[in-house]
Structure formats: C-alpha cells, structure tokens
Amino acid sequence: MDAEEILNFLQHSKFSIQHPDHQPQQSVLNLHTGHRQTACMRNISAPQRSHKTVSFPVRAQAGGVVDGFERNGCGRRFCGTRFVGSGIGMDYKLNVMERQDARERMVAKQIAARGVTDSRVLAVMREVPRHVFVAVGLQPEAYEDRPLPIGEGQTISQPYMVAAMTAALEPRDSDHILEIGTGSGYQTAILARLARSVVSVERHPRLANRAEQVLASLGITNVRVTLGDGSRGLPAEAPYDRILVTAGAPAVPETLTDQLADGGRLVIPVGSEGYQRLMIIDRRGDRLSDREGEGCVFVPLIGQHGWPEGGVPGL
Ligand code: SAM
C-alpha cells in the first residue's frame, strides 16, 4: 500500500498516522506467495506456551508507489482491457479507484446481498484494504469471495465471514476486544475501526509479526498483537467487552467466557474439525446465554482449550 492509498484510507477513517515521516510502502508486505487452497488448512506447528508481546519496527522505504502486480500490468481482473495511462502515476490512480470499486462490489454482492445489514460493518468493509493483508501475488484475488492462503497453513477469512462475525459481535465504540487468531490481521483491522482497543493473540510468530507490520503501516494504533495460545484467553487484560475467535473450537472454552465482562459477548465457531457453527454467547452477571448462528468452516483452534497439536484424535 502506498502513501496515496493510505491517505485515501485515512480520510475515511478515524485512524491517525503514528509517525508523520513514515511513508509505508507495499514492500513491507513482501509475503510468501503460498499455494492455492480454497478450503481451510490444518495448522501443524508447535503451540506457544506463554504470551509475549511481539514488537516490530515498521520499515519505511522511499521510492515507487506502485506494487509489483500493477506495475507489471498483469492484473487480469483489475486491469482488464482498460486504457493504462502514459505513466505509472496514471496507472496507479486508476488502480486505486478500481480497488475501491472492487471493495464496493465485494460489499454489495458478497456481504449485503447475503443479509449483513449493519451499516457500520458495511462501511468499514468498504474502507479497509484487504489486498494489503495478502501476498502481492494474491492481490488480484483479494476482493473475491473466498479465503486465501497467508502462510503457515493458515488463511485470511472470506470477506463475508469477516463481516458476518463482526456483525454478530456487535462491537461498540467504547469496547475493549480480545481477538483469538490474528492471522493476516485483516479482521483485527476491521475490529479496530469499530472499537476502542483490540488485543489479538496469534500462535504463529511469523503471522503475528507480519500482521503487526501491516496494521502499523495502516496507521492503526489501537491494536496490540501478542503471541501465545489464545484458547487460554489473555487473563492479564480481562475482562473484555467482546471476544472473537477466528478458528474452530471443539467446545466453548470456559477460559474465554470467564474473561467476558458483564454485558459482554463471545463469538466463536464451534463444532467438528470439518464443520462448525458460530456460537454467540452473552454474559449478564453470572448468567451465560447462547444461541447458534450460521454454519462455517474454519482452521482449528489449536491449544490447551482447543484441538490438540498435530490433528484431531480419531480422524
Ligand atoms: N481472521 C484472520 C484474518 O482475517 O486473516 C484469519 C484467522 S485464521 C482463519 C485462524 C488463525 O487462528 C490462524 O492464524 C491460526 O494460526 C490461529 N490460531 C489457531 N489456534 C490458535 C490459538 N490457540 N491461539 C492463537 N491463534 C490461534
């Protein structure tokens, strides 16, 4: 993402740029390209046993403003047969508009058309640039209706799923949110736009570091990414007004309901390894009530209160 696109994004957001001198460039997103997988994938890395804050300096790089995909003119869906201007600048401007258009279409056709009506959620889904959360080679597909690989056998969730979970969570401006499963950081960015603060736990150091970089490059300052087994929650910062789990659990971990504030809500996919249902759990004083949302398929929540490392027993 280049400076102009960031300014465009910030104009429509409440974020501020942390370091005025910093001109984040697409090059900080030099991610692995990964192989194509349309379904969710099994995570087989070693679990982290303790939480630790990961801190990562954002690398600024002066120079070009166009990422590899657009510079090479190979964007089959975005470039199509349109006229590419006489200079990189013009090419770039067209692409910024096209990405905005792609987000508008994504929201209209994939999200609103499927019944997500919360105007705050729809607005933020139009604003947050999903393409910066995936590898440059996958950016042409960033606004399509599916998850994409992000490395470590993990995925950035389908845009509709991100919107549906966010709508189910009903985040408020004043909320302190715990997210389990940072992944690419895309869902984290969406939550950060809608709440006071977000702390997000990821078990893969590489994903946590990269998500933190991307979030910082967008000027998002109300987010902290930590490394650890999120199935245990993060008791040090509890209680949370909202908890969102973005990986599938065999059951609702009590560790998480225990960390919900009075009036708080937990949204978590629960079920088998191959299929889950969103569970929406509300705390009112000591009482918990739950209801089932829609069906979904997520990568497994691996950890002490999730699935064991290395696969589900008996499968
Ligand atoms: N919402 C993310 C996004 O927009 O990119 C996608 C999350 S991905 C479907 C699920 C993530 O949960 C993976 O990054 C995975 O490593 C992580 N995960 C699984 N078990 C975890 C655990 N116990 N603690 C923290 N993260 C976990």
The reply to whether ligand 1 has any atom less than 6 angstroms from the CB of 180 is: yes
Ligand 1 atom closest to the CA of 186, numbered from 1: 4
Q: How many CA atoms lie within 13 A of 209 on its CB side?
A: 11
CA of 202 to the centre of ligand 1 (A): 6
Using the predicted structure, report yes or no on whether residue 63 has a pLDDT greater than 80.
Answer: no
DSSP characters over the chain: --HHHHHHHHHTSS---S-TT----GGGG--------SS-----SPPP-S-EE---PPPP--S--S-HHHHTT--TTTTTTPPP-SSHHHHHHHHHHHHHHHHHHIIIIIIGGGT---HHHHHHHHHS-GGGGS-GGGGGGTTSSS-EEEETTEEEPPHHHHHHHHHHH---TT-EEEEE--TTSHHHHHHHHHSSEEEEEES-HHHHHHHHHHHHHTT--SEEEEES-GGG--GGG--EEEEEE-SBBSS--HHHHTTEEEEEEEEEEEE-SS-EEEEEEEEETTEEEEEEEEEE---B-BSTTSBPTTS-TT-
CA of 30 to the centre of ligand 1 (A): 20
pTM for this model (two decimals):
0.76
Which tokens in the block code for residue 297? 């398929």
CA-nearest residue, atom 15 of ligand 1 = 181
Helix axes 205-217 and 186-194, enclosed angle (nearest 10):
50
Question: Contact, 157 vs 187, CB < 8 A?
Answer: yes
Using the predicted structure, report yes or no on whether residue 101 has a pLDDT greater than 70.
Answer: yes
Distance CA 184, CA 94 (A): 26
The reply to whether ligand 1 has any atom less than 6 angstroms from the CB of 186 is: yes
Residue 57's pLDDT is what? Answer: 30
Domains defined along the chain, listed by start: 3-48+66-296 (3.40.50.150)
Residue 153's pLDDT is what? Answer: 95
Residue 3's pLDDT is what? Answer: 53
CA of 261 to the centre of ligand 1 (A): 23
Distance CA 305, CA 132 (A): 32
The reply to whether ligand 1 has any atom less than 6 angstroms from the CB of 215 is: no
The reply to whether ligand 1 has any atom less than 6 angstroms from the CB of 151 is: no
Q: Which of 50, 55, 157, 231 is catalytic?
A: 157
Ligand 1 atom closest to the CA of 187, numbered from 1: 4
The reply to whether ligand 1 has any atom less than 6 angstroms from the CB of 98 is: no
Residue 9's pLDDT is what? Answer: 54
Task: Give yes or no: 157 in active site.
Answer: yes
The reply to whether ligand 1 has any atom less than 6 angstroms from the CB of 247 is: yes
CA-nearest residue, atom 20 of ligand 1 = 301
CA of 105 to the centre of ligand 1 (A): 27
- Binned at pLDDT 50, 70 and 90, residue 96 comes out as confident
Among 65-79, 135-149, 201-215, name the one with the lowest average pLDDT.
Answer: 65-79
Q: How far apart are the first and last CA of the chain?
A: 42
CA-nearest residue, atom 19 of ligand 1 = 301
CA-nearest residue, atom 3 of ligand 1 = 156
The mean pLDDT of the chain is: 77
Tell me which of 146, 302, 307, 312 to substitute to probe ligand 1's pocket, judged by most ligand atoms within 8 Å of the beta carbon: 302
Average pLDDT of the residues in 215-237: 97
Distance CA 198, CA 223 (A): 5
The reply to whether ligand 1 has any atom less than 6 angstroms from the CB of 184 is: yes
- Binned at pLDDT 50, 70 and 90, residue 27 comes out as very low
CA of 93 to the centre of ligand 1 (A): 34
Q: pLDDT tens-digit profile of 264-298?
A: 999 999 999 999 999 999 999 999 999 999 999 99
The reply to whether ligand 1 has any atom less than 6 angstroms from the CB of 302 is: yes
What is the longest distance spanned by two Cα atoms in the chain? 65
Residue 307's pLDDT is what? Answer: 97
- Encode 181-213: b = buried (16+ Cβ within 10 Å), e = exposed: bbbbbbbbbbbbbbbebbbbbbbbeebbbbbbb
CA of 301 to the centre of ligand 1 (A): 7
Amino acid at residue number 108: A
CA-nearest residue, atom 18 of ligand 1 = 181
Residues 6+ apart with CB under 8 A from 167: 116, 117, 118, 121
